[in-house]
Chain A
Amino acid sequence: METLKKEKAASTKQSTIRISGAEAIIHCLLAEGVDLIYGYPGGAIMPLYDELYKFQHKLTHILTRHEQGATHAAQGYARVTGKVGVAVATSGPGATNLITGIADAQIDSTPMVCITGQVARHLLGSDAFQETDIIGISTPVTKWNCQVTKASEIPEVMAKAFYIARSGRPGPVLVDITKNAQVEEFDFSYEHCKGVRSYNPFPKPDTKAIEQAAELINAAKKPFIVFGQGVILGQAEEQLKALVEKAGIPAAWTVLGLSAMDTDHPLNVGMVGMHGNYGPNLLTNECDVLIAIGMRFDDRVTGSLDTYAKQAKIIHFDIDPAEINKNVKADVAVLGNSKVTLDLLLPMIKNNKHESWHNEFKEKYKIEFDQIIKNDVYPTKDKLTMAEVIEEINIASGHKAIIVSDVGQHQMIACRYAKFKQTKSNVTSGGLGTMGFALPAAIGAKMGAMDREVVAIIGDGGYQMTIQELGTIFQNKTPVKIVVLNNDHLGMVRQWQELFFESRYASTVMVNPDFVKIAEGYHIESKRISERKDLKSTIQKMLASKDAYFLEVKVEKEDNVFPMIPSGASVSDIRLK
């Protein structure tokens, strides 16, 4: 009887092979074009690792030193390639260690699929060894998640996972697979997911809204563009540039929009937000039409919403309907992929220059240059500044490096001063502000762009949150360049304590280890500098190296990042000191 059933099954499904669930996972990954995954083995995921061993010629697995590192590496890989990053972990603590990276990917719209092992189906709910409700835990921070308890469910769920992670507004997906489902054999066949009945990732562009947007833009005297990561995710860099040039509109970027447009483009006027440039922030409240493209009006961008761009008509281009009118009411909302919608908009846009309006940005830049940028980038004091280090990297790399920054003062300095010619070059934790992001993310970024220079810029605090990933760099000989800007403080918190907590420096002084010795322990060439005379030559040497390189730069301890919009203040109240 059993044989009869099997024969029947075999005859109805012609292109099937009989394999284990674990092997099926590998075939699904290969079918989705995955050739590199990050992870950490453990009990409940061992059947999958056993198959990874057999398939290592086709699918490279990078063993990180902590599951959080696996997620950030997958994110770094996804951010520079545009492909889905994959991270694997076991059940229980392995799975919970993924959560920070998943939350980071969710808020920064990074396509990622996480696969976790789970205790066998018959043990679910029994508080078995390393059992945790990872579906429950990950629900608020995933775009979608799903538990698989039968091998036969694997192909459909995996196909759906990749489709959901990469389509529409991308995000993280977690697939939790019980151990029995990895071991069971079934008749495997694979079909890519072409759609999910209840999910509409590609809203149809509303031509009427686009016409209204064009009318507003054409009639504007002081139009202003703020672009975010939606331009990069939608691959709309060309369209953005064309719009900016055709209509002569000054354009500024959010932290995650950085590198979508050449930083040296004459109409690129800098960064908006808490530590953004003076002109773009101040003139947000003077423009007459604000064109937001692929950005979500984060509070770090807008400051107080009550006083944000109230004088302007707002045009909001975004793919996510939930972002429209969420923080800022749009006069015209254009839903859709930014490449598609901007392509439809462009023919309706009239040529324009707006020179005097653009000059206002130039004037504001002069003020900012004299009061801040000059002292940051070309300091006259003895101690090194973070900004001059970034500037030397700009010069030595010819604006071609991928910069992966961590979170804090060095991140804001990197975003303010790093120069980019190429898109997908700025990798940082924007929405979640995850300290410890940069080192593992740089590993993923390098593996995703082996032909490019990848420089991680990290503070002494964040570096020590994932410092163990030096082991991953050593084991895989990943040629990333690691720059720790060491001010022996949790600098950004220290800055807030100085400005808003009457200089009560609670727990922000760091007594740091010898970072150079630690890197040496991992056989990574390393150097520490504290004097200006050594800066240029050391950075040149670092970038010339074909291997990983660690550079610690001792910088001024009490420098603050300015301009600054204090939390909850208006963009008009941007402080220069």
Chain B
Amino acid sequence: MEKKWFTISVYSENSVGLLNRISGIFLKRHINIESLNVSKSEIEHVSKFTIVVYTTEDWVRNIVGQVEKQIEVIKAFYHTDEETIYQESALFKVASTLLFDERNIQNIIKESNSQIVTVSRDFFVLAKTGRRNEIDDMYQQLKPYGIMQFVRSGRIAVTKSEMKISSLLKEFNQ
């Protein structure tokens, strides 16, 4: 079966240790987590994990089944890239001298649609939000000039189709 990128969305209670429980499911199957983001969700007191994996649909189905089985997980879904709207964020720390000495840097900033977050005497920080390949492209463009620090966030994603969590919670509580 063909390997693909999948975004797993997990709605859960906000409880200590649940991250460990969920990551263990990937560990047991020797599947690497490509990106992970945990935040609050649209429902009060419900957390949302957004996990990106590169694997087969059989495995992702198996994983989602096991994730959903965890007591504190309300519901887990998986989606392909086409089924989601997704973004990542990245920060680039670059030496300030470049901003003035290298004309091309300004072009990169403009063309990549990134923002200058801060400028100090020694360095400036660029923030870029977009798809992974856009951030990768920007990284490649900046790399020859020297990147002092780079960090990228986990993927965040919303799905095109509905994820019915509120009605599920109601059903569980009936």
Contact = CB atoms under 8 A, between A and B. Distances in A.
B28 A140 contact: yes
Interface in A172-208: 195-200
B20 A139 contact: yes
Nearest to A204: B171
A196 B71 CA distance: 8
Contacts of B71: 143-144, 164, 196, 198-199
In this complex, which of B24, B69, B71 has the most chain A Cβ atoms within 10 angstroms of its Cβ?
Answer: B71
Contacts of A199: 71-72, 172
Contacts of A200: 171-172
A195 B173 contact: yes
A143 B71 CA distance: 7
Contacts of A68: none
A54 interface: no
Given A139-B21, A197-B172, A198-B73, A147 B65 contact: no
Given A198-B74, A199-B172, A322 B13 contact: no
A325 B17 contact: no
Interface in A320-335: 320-322, 324-326
Nearest to B69: A322
A321 B68 contact: yes
A-side binding surface: helix, strand, loop or mixed?
mixed
Contact of B13 (A145, A147, A195, A198): A198
Nearest to B46: A198
Contacts of B65: 321-322, 324, 326
A135 interface: yes
A491 to B, nearest CB: 30
A125 interface: no
A136 interface: yes
A198 B12 contact: yes
B-side binding surface: helix, strand, loop or mixed?
helix
Interface in B16-32: 16-17, 20-21, 24, 27-28
B104 interface: no
Contacts of B131: none
B58 to A, nearest CB: 9
Contacts of B24: 139-140
Given A139-B17, A145-B17, A326-B62, A197 B28 contact: no
Contacts of B72: 198-199
A472 to B, nearest CB: 32
A74 B69 CA distance: 24
A197 B165 CA distance: 12
Interface string B130-174: 000000000000000000000000000000000000000101110
Interface string B1-44: 00000000000110011001100100110000000000000000
Interface in B42-97: 61-62, 65-66, 68-69, 71-74
B13 A197 contact: yes
Contacts of A135: 17
A297 B66 CA distance: 16
Contacts of A324: 65
A321 B69 contact: yes
Interface in A92-146: 135-136, 139-140, 143-146
Contacts of B27: 140
Nearest to A144: B71
A81 to B, nearest CB: 24
A198 B172 contact: yes
A147 B20 CA distance: 14
Contacts of B171: 200
B16 A147 contact: yes
A195 B62 CA distance: 26
Contacts of A325: 61
Nearest to A160: B71
B40 to A, nearest CB: 15
A277 B17 CA distance: 44
A196 B12 CA distance: 12
A321 B13 CA distance: 20
B136 to A, nearest CB: 34
A168 to B, nearest CB: 9
Nearest to A169: B69
A526 B24 CA distance: 47
Contacts of A197: 13, 74, 169, 172-173
B68 A322 contact: yes
B77 to A, nearest CB: 14
Contacts of A145: 17
Contacts of B172: 195, 197-200
A133 to B, nearest CB: 10
Nearest to A329: B58
Contacts of B69: 320-322
A429 B28 CA distance: 21
Contacts of B173: 195, 197
Interface in A272-295: none
In this complex, which of B12, B65, B74, B171 has the most chain A Cβ atoms within 10 angstroms of its Cβ?
Answer: B65
Interface string A140-156: 10011111000000000
Contacts of B20: 136, 139
Contact of B66 (A136, A198, A322): A322
A279 to B, nearest CB: 31
B108 to A, nearest CB: 44
A199 B72 CA distance: 7
Nearest to B45: A197
Contacts of B66: 322
A197 B15 CA distance: 13
A136 B24 CA distance: 10
Contacts of A164: 71
Interface in A467-526: none
B127 to A, nearest CB: 35
Nearest to A321: B65
B67 to A, nearest CB: 9
Contacts of A198: 12-13, 71-74, 169, 172
Nearest to B12: A198
Contacts of B21: 139-140
Given A145-B17, A199-B172, 7 more contacts: A136-B17, A139-B24, A195-B172, A198-B172, A200-B172, A324-B65, A326-B65
Q: Which 4 interchain pairs have the tightest Cβ spacing?
A: A322-B65, A198-B74, A144-B71, A140-B24
12 contacts: A135-B17, A136-B20, A139-B17, A139-B24, A140-B21, A140-B28, A146-B17, A196-B71, A197-B13, A197-B74, A322-B68, A325-B61
